[in-house]
Homo-oligomer: A and B are copies of this chain.
Amino acid sequence: MLAEIITIGDEILIGQIVDTNSAWMAKQLNSIGVSVKQITSVSDDETHILQALADAEKRAEIILITGGLGPTKDDITKKTLAKYFGMGFRRDEGALEMVTSIFKKYNRPLLDINMQQADVPDGCEVIVNRNGTAPCMWFEQNDKIFVSMPGVPYEMMYLVDDEILPRITSRFKLPSIVHKTILTANIGESFLAKEIEDIEDNLPAHIKLAYLPKLGQVRLRLSAKGENETNLKAEVDEYANQIIAKVKKFVVIDDDVPLEKAIIDIMKKQSLTLSTAESCTGGYIAHLITQHPGCSSVYWGGAVAYAYELKESILGVKESTLTKFGAVSEETVTEMAEGAVRQFKTDYSIAVSGIAGPDGGTEDKPVGTVWIAISSKNKTVAKVFNFSNKRIQNIERSAASALMMLLNLLREDQHNE
């Protein structure tokens, strides 16, 4: 079964927002055996939305649509859907009740345009949105299903999880789609491909292998589609094991998780604790780690030591070190890492100090110069990196490099035990 996703809104086409809804919906659809054929973003323009709907209807059986359902004049999705299906409008009692109760909850007067949120094309089925005033609308035409949802992520997420997916799974007999991801590090994409060439060449037609390189890591993804989930899983696992056996020393984890999550899991198994001491990454590493439920048994916390004063007071970096070598130096980052282990009483720490840019570089230390140190009770390793002049990327690349260094030290320590 094929699906398409259409996201509507000028803000996407002018790059004011990143469309994160599509990836989330695609993942959920995939998990129940529905393949997404295309994701299309179009502006709040009637002709173009009509065309996108017609194109999607030709290619897919299920079309999920988000956006353009607000109460204001720039939102035209509802009117356009009514036109597409040749429907008039009716006021939906359930939707009106929800709008009324939301305004009551926040003690706000109900305006005419809010009540109009409950007006829907008369041939659609309304699915009540418990988290907002725009109702979700389910249309059927020529055996195709169209679902229109608000673009607000958490409203859309509840609707998809609680309403849309259950309806799809109960109605259709869906195939199974099985993915298995192996996270590798310290090896380039092409070398990896060469190492596992024999395995790749012998994959059956219904199993695909993909390479996803990112920031010094490469994810290998095996994807299989078929009738019997148990058999597919066994088959995919078999090929995954062949690959793992072939490139064992580069494998971080055989799961589709970010590097920091793999590290947390490794440390949790060994009852190890971690803290952070961040300057130029400004809390980004802490944020990466704390996104993941259950991190608190490993990660105790840390400092975002932007100012000199905080590097001294929280982390115990010596004033003389800062004065003599500067904040971006091997000496400072080493003291930051060792200070974190000492002050926060953790087994390991990550410290980062660099010039994220775009300003603040010098001839000696241009923008993109980043010192990273990893400390354990026995040892501190420090390394300098020369990244680019783009701030956000420098932050991301610093974080990825720091996590890689931590992983490598953990492995080395484990090996030495």
- Tell me the A residues contacting B by CB distance below 8 Å: 10-20, 22-30, 35-44, 48, 52, 55, 70-75, 108, 111, 113-114, 152-154, 157, 179, 181, 188-191, 193-194, 200, 208-214, 219, 221, 223, 256, 275-276, 278, 280-287, 289-291, 293-296, 299-307, 309-310, 313-314, 343-345, 356-359, 388, 390-393, 395
Inter-subunit contact B27/A37 (CB<8 Å):
no
Inter-subunit contact A291/B12 (CB<8 Å):
no
Question: In the bound complex, how far is the Cα of B286 from the Cα of A36, in angstroms?
Answer: 36
> Can you name the residue of chain B whose Cβ is closest to the Cβ of A200?
B73
Inter-subunit contact B37/A38 (CB<8 Å):
no
Known A23-B19, A309-B300, A345-B309; contact A70-B213, beta-carbon cutoff 8 A: yes
Give the 8 A-B CB pairs with smallest separation, nearest first: A282-B290, A283-B286, A15-B27, A283-B283, A15-B26, A300-B307, A301-B306, A39-B41
Residues of B within 8 A of A395 (CB): 290-291
Question: In the bound complex, how far is the Cα of B10 from the Cα of A27, in angstroms?
Answer: 11
Inter-subunit contact A301/B291 (CB<8 Å):
no
Inter-subunit contact B212/A152 (CB<8 Å):
no
Within 8 Å by CB of A12, from B15, B26, B194, lies B26
Known A13-B37, A15-B26, A188-B108; contact A283-B306, beta-carbon cutoff 8 A: no
Question: In the bound complex, how far is the Cα of B287 from the Cα of A278, in angstroms?
Answer: 10
Residues of B within 8 A of A200 (CB): 73
Instruction: Write the nearest CB–CB distance from A358 to chain B, whole angstroms.
Output: 6
Within 8 Å by CB of A30, from B14, B276, B294, lies B14
How many of these chains are in the complex?
2
> Can you name the residue of chain B whose Cβ is closest to the Cβ of A133?
B190
> Can you name the residue of chain B whose Cβ is closest to the Cβ of A29?
B15
Question: In the bound complex, how far is the Cα of B276 from the Cα of A302, in angstroms?
Answer: 12
With A15-B25, A290-B356 known, 13 other A-B pairs at CB within 8 A are A13-B37, A15-B23, A16-B23, A16-B219, A19-B22, A70-B189, A154-B390, A282-B286, A286-B304, A296-B306, A300-B306, A301-B314, A313-B343
Known A11-B221, A293-B359; contact A111-B190, beta-carbon cutoff 8 A: yes
Question: In the bound complex, how far is the Cα of B210 from the Cα of A222, in angstroms?
Answer: 42
Inter-subunit contact B10/A30 (CB<8 Å):
no
Inter-subunit contact B291/A306 (CB<8 Å):
no
Question: In the bound complex, how far is the Cα of B309 from the Cα of A301, in angstroms?
Answer: 9
> Can you name the residue of chain B whose Cβ is closest to the Cβ of A299?
B306
Residues of B within 8 A of A10 (CB): 208, 210, 223
Known A38-B41, A40-B38, A314-B314; contact A306-B290, beta-carbon cutoff 8 A: yes
Residues of B within 8 A of A282 (CB): 286-287, 289-291, 295
Residues of B within 8 A of A73 (CB): 193, 200, 209
